[in-house]
A and B are shown apart, each in its own frame.
Chain A
Amino acid sequence: MMKIDFSGLEPNTSSLRGNLNEFLSGLSTAPEFQIPNTNDFDGFQKESIQMVKPAKGTTTLAFIFKEGVMVAADSRASMGGYISSQSVKKIIEINPYMLGTMAGGAADCQFWHRNLGIKCRLHELANKRRISVTGASKLLANILYSYRGMGLSVGTMIAGWDEKGPGLYYVDSEGGRLKGTRFSVGSGSPYAYGVLDSGYHYDMSVEEAAELARRAIYHATFRDGASGGVVSVYHVGPNGWKKLSGDDVGELHYTYYPVERTSVEQEMAEVSIS
């Protein structure tokens, strides 16, 4: 009886390599990870996650509309209650026509998106055509599935434009992969969904869609402490992605809600000591 060949899903293809090969091999096969020599692997991972405290807490969103895909994200990284950075790039440019968003563990997202970019390029070279969004998201989902249960934290959206038109997939570290037209991921996603769902029309123009995305992220940063910084908005069209705007959320607040001058303030300004 023929057995299904799962070799493509194996994270470790060979245990015969010596230490020197680790230096010289590069990323031609899947990375090999050392495992700690302990009886209680899960407990050790739980403890070391506490120690490492991966940056999480974010708001990202993406949606398909008539003119392509709109992708937006905030830029705050938090470690527990400490804001470790306000300028994290959460929209990762996999290649000129595909974007990935980052939510969950920053290092996990950065590393696996970089790895996905390499795999996409290898696909192009091997097949003389660009990889589809379906294919790219499947590559990532299969990798994450093989590390399921080991503590990776990745909640990402793969957005791109291929021969079938605009494509959007949600992929996470539990092994889930969903095709869809509207997604928001992160601690601020409930707030973003509220604004996004109520303002969404398929027939929006690029400017309207960008403003909707910007507002949705802004409202999430307003109510969610773990989101903030700068809202980045990208558009993926038939010619690839283009960054449309990057606005500081603090300043965006005052463009949406300008401060009204009250009469009392004006009175105080007029009184002078002679």
Chain B
Amino acid sequence: MTKEHANWSPYDNNGGTCVAIAGADYCVVAADTRMSSGYNILTRDYSKITQLADKCAMASSGFQADVRALQKHLEARHLIYQHQHNKQMSTPAMAQLLSNTLYYKRFFPYYAFNVLGGLDGEGKGCVFTYDAVGSYERVGYSSQGSGSTLIMPFLDNQLKSPSPLLLPAKDAVTPLSESEALDLVKTCFASATERDIYTGDKLEIVVLNAKGTRREYMELRKD
């Protein structure tokens, strides 16, 4: 006797791609703004990036309802931190908070694939990349989402720096300037849009540096 399985799943995949690149004194976090469900486009204008702290932004692809719940949870925790410590959370602290938040739902995961970008305590750019249940790693660049398998090899080719695990340690700073990194991100998305049906419409870029935060937009193919 075969068991009847539920036809309803609590999850859906809304697609999309996120990228983050860290530089010597800046960090670029970017995501497309298309939200889809199966072959349907639900909207062309949905932001996947949220600013969690002054110097910290998170981009998440996957199931946007879970992403929104995760963003609200982190914003609430950050507010409590500010009340208790009278200062903003640093990016490495926020990174560990995100990891723990994801792991606390280990048996009913947030279907969210995140990249966290920001400036660390010394003002250097840092990017943290996650899987859906909270394992994380500090890296120089990362991409997540439906277009990540197209973008990551390209970033490896352009930005590959010596592994932080090597001993004797080799210097691992991304040598690009802020404008070069921005161009690189735009190129990534233009190419990913060509070959991934879930990526396109518009690109939202958040740039964090010592002067503050700024947002940029670029049109992508809408087909």
A/B interface sample: 10 pairs, CB < 8 A: A31-B103, A32-B104, A34-B107, A51-B109, A54-B131, A79-B131, A87-B137, A107-B102, A110-B136, A111-B99
For A230, give its contact among B11, B99, B165 (CB under 8 Å): B165
Interface class of chain B by DSSP = loop
A48 within 8 A of B: yes
Q: Tell me if A229 and B163 are in contact (CB < 8 A).
A: yes
Interface size in chain B (residues, C-beta < 8 A)? 35
> For chains A and B in complex, what number of residue pairs have CB atoms within 8 angstroms?
104
User: Which partner residue on chain B sits nearest A31 by CB separation?
Assistant: B104
Q: Tell me if B107 and A107 are in contact (CB < 8 A).
A: no
CA distance A88 to B134 in the complex (A): 14
Residues on A with beta carbons closer than 8 Å to the beta carbon of B108: 34-36, 48
User: Which partner residue on chain A sits nearest B100 by CB separation?
Assistant: A111
Interface class of chain A by DSSP = mixed
9 A-B pairs with least C-beta separation:
A106-B135, A107-B135, A246-B167, A107-B133, A230-B165, A36-B108, A87-B163, A246-B166, A107-B134
Q: Which segment, of A38-46, A119-127, A215-223, faces chain B?
A: A38-46
Contact with B along A22-36 (1 / 0, CB 8 A): 011000000111111
B10 within 8 A of A: yes
B189 within 8 A of A: no
CA distance A87 to B169 in the complex (A): 13
CA distance A111 to B136 in the complex (A): 10
Using a CB–CB cutoff of 8 Å, the interface residues on chain A facing chain B are: 23-24, 31-36, 38, 40, 43, 45, 47-48, 51-52, 54-55, 75, 79, 82, 84-89, 105-111, 150-152, 229-230, 232, 243-248
For A36, give its contact among B10, B80, B100, B163 (CB under 8 Å): B10
- A23-B77, A87-B165 known; A36-B107 Cβ under 8 A: yes
Complex interface residues of chain B between 83 and 119 (CB less than 8 A to chain A): 99-100, 102-109, 111
